[in-house]
Structure 1
Amino acid sequence: MQTKRGQSIEDASMQMIDDEIGIHYYNEKEWPIVRRIIHSTADFDFAGDNKVIFHKDAIQSGMMALKNGCSIVVDVNGVIGGLNKQNPKDFQNKIVCNISDPKIMEIAKKENKTRSQISMRSALSDIDGGIVVVGNAPTALMEVINMVKEGIVKPALIIGIPVGFICASESKEELSRLENIPFITNKGRKGGSSSASAIINALYKLVRAELSS
């Protein structure tokens, strides 16, 4: 819950973003998500050179999944840290992050893969029909894409916005080529846990607005 003062600061910040961006081409549900990312990062590139890209079914599918109590599988604990904790409680969404499990490290060493790859494989049952949120590790995103191509999972939504230099842009481009899986991603190297959390928080706001209308 926001205090009245906190809400007034947030509202003023959002108005500043609107004023600085001016004309944009996002629709009425896409823009609150992009604006939330900008608010979380103070980076206007997410509406510019590193613009956010939406699959045509992304928002509807993500909102429906959240309302239906889907699991949310994240690549790193930093994404969890940025979430409004009340939302998953209210909608009974299980948050899954296996990256710190010692068994994941053991398997990763044995198979010469990253922990992020193995942690995603280990969450197969939660990914299928759930929402995947990748804000840090491009290898996590690529692993989920491979799982989709193998036909072993069909997520309701993939949020792929990893930050970095090695395979970050490439993994996002690969995600954007998936035709039958809803996704939210962005162009370029920018991204990060705070951006990923912002997208989920914004989706929850859209869900609450829809339910209260």
Structure 2
Amino acid sequence: MYSGCLTIKELTQAVGGGITPRMVRHYHELGLLPQPERSPSNYRLYNQQDVIRLQRIVALKEQGFQLNHIRNILEVELETDNNANFMAQLQQQYRSVMQQIAQLRQTASALEGLLGRDRHCQIMQAEVLAQLKLLEVETKVGLGGLARLWHGLDAEVHTHPEVFAESLQHILPDLSERSEIEQHLISQLVLACGDVSLVSFIRVSKEAIAVSRQALASACEIVVDIRTIATAIDQTRLVHLGCKVTTLINNPHITTAIEAEKEFWQHQQWRETLEKVSEGCIVVIGYAPSVLLEVCTLINQEKIQPSLVIGMPIGFSHAPAAKRRLMQQTSPFITIEGTIGGGLLAATALNALVESLIEKPNCHCYLNF
């Protein structure tokens, strides 16, 4: 073997991350990796530059980039070191991805419109599905027929209230590997935003359900970042449990993520208040990413010891970073990866936990998962 060169097996071992020779060959086919030189015995030979490039591919893939976007990123890096050009390329890729998401969202909405029907709509649904198979939509007349089908199906919604539980059964992914209480939590979060794709981004740590029930049953303190969340949580049930609600940024004029973030940065008093939260409390953050980052810092410094952190702040850079940091903590958490979040979702998560505890106080299904 040539000195300093690696075989494909040695390359995958050097890179790690679950990379296999088959994946490396696939990357060659896609143009992600340049074709390597060959030994006299026709073995692929790799050098340190190949190791570095493959490591970058793995790192970008783990961050959520698709392979075709990774190829574009690497091509731009090879062509120029100009950050402006690089950012322009990334923006172009982002617009392309968002266009694809919009198209997929439109398809998903159409499917949800058919699948998310309760038993009261099934007769009309069956009729629509039968006609849909025969429908010709290449002409304006055909498109009109499609519109009439939807009109007929939509007419059924006037005859009865929507049965949300039945609709969710038809469109939610398989949640059988999650406990009954966690399934309820996820369902409530989906209903709060009307987006089933949210399921893929919900993260519930292993001990989150157990410790939340213990804390709530012990009348723990509930700490929210701003008053908007306090108005959305189920105060009646919390009073029944004996839980006191404390607002961290206790300014009635702060109602948005922008205001909450600015207020927390400008006034040291809110950081000092955060350090005084009671041990075993549940912290609910739905707006300010900096509050969640500070919570993580204080937990690491052992200055606070919440039983659970519900971290769902809004933002496009700080919020995803704060959530990633939360998921690295040993403390139990519930969060939604990425930019998605908000006070309604954060409050909904807490309300679902409270509701499950009161209605099913003796349920221990979560201990089996």
User: Does 2:195 align with 1:43?
Assistant: yes
- 1:18-65 C-alpha deviation (Å, 9 max, x unpaired): 3211423433221111111111111223213xx111111001101110
CA shift at 1:118, angstroms?
A: 4.7
Match for 2:247: what amino acid? C
Match for 1:91: what amino acid? L
User: Unpaired segments of 5 or more residues in structure 2?
Assistant: 1-159, 253-262, 364-369
User: Does 2:228 align with 1:78?
Assistant: yes
Contact 2:264–2:291 (Cα < 8 Å) also in 1: no
Q: What residue in structure 1 maps to residue 300 of structure 2?
A: 149
Contact 2:225–2:286 (Cα < 8 Å) also in 1: yes
User: Unpaired segments of 5 or more residues in structure 1?
Assistant: 1-7, 103-111
SS of structure 2 residue aligned to 1:184? strand
Match for 1:47: what amino acid? V
The 1:148/1:195 distance shift into structure 2, 3 A limit, reads same
SS of structure 1 residue aligned to 2:315? coil
Correspondent of 2:355 among 198, 205, 213: 205
Normalising by structure 1, report the TM-score: 0.82
**Bigger fraction of residues in helix:** 2
CA shift at 1:140, angstroms?
A: 0.5
CA distance in structure 2 between the aligned counterparts of 1:116 and 1:18, rounded to whole angstroms: 47
Contact 1:176–1:183 (Cα < 8 Å) also in 2: yes
Q: Which has the higher contact order (CA 8 A, sep 6+)?
A: 1
CA distance in structure 1 between the aligned counterparts of 2:168 and 2:266, rounded to whole angstroms: 37
RMSD of Structure 2 on Structure 1 (CA): 2.3
| 1:1-213 paired onto structure 2 within 5 Å | 12-24=163-175, 25-48=177-200, 51-101=201-251, 114=265, 118-179=269-330, 181-211=331-361
The 1:96/1:198 distance shift into structure 2, 3 A limit, reads same
CA shift at 1:100, angstroms?
A: 3.0
Length, aligned pairs only: 193
The 1:131/1:138 distance shift into structure 2, 3 A limit, reads same
SS of structure 1 residue aligned to 2:276? helix
The 1:147/1:116 distance shift into structure 2, 3 A limit, reads farther
Contact 1:130–1:157 (Cα < 8 Å) also in 2: yes
Q: What residue in structure 2 maps to residue 105 of structure 1?
A: none
List 4+ stretches of structure 1 deviating above 2 A.
24-27, 115-121, 123-128, 209-213
CA distance in structure 1 between the aligned counterparts of 2:306 and 2:207, rounded to whole angstroms: 12
CA shift at 1:200, angstroms?
A: 0.6
CA distance in structure 2 between the aligned counterparts of 1:148 and 1:116, rounded to whole angstroms: 21
The 1:19/1:120 distance shift into structure 2, 3 A limit, reads farther
The 1:135/1:21 distance shift into structure 2, 3 A limit, reads same
Percent identity over paired residues: 25
CA distance in structure 2 between the aligned counterparts of 1:30 and 1:177, rounded to whole angstroms: 21
CA distance in structure 2 between the aligned counterparts of 1:58 and 1:206, rounded to whole angstroms: 13
The 1:23/1:77 distance shift into structure 2, 3 A limit, reads same
Match for 2:218: what amino acid? N
Normalising by structure 2, report the TM-score: 0.49
- 1:175-203 C-alpha deviation (Å, 9 max, x unpaired): 00012x11111211001000001011100
Larger radius of gyration: 2
CA shift at 1:124, angstroms?
A: 2.9
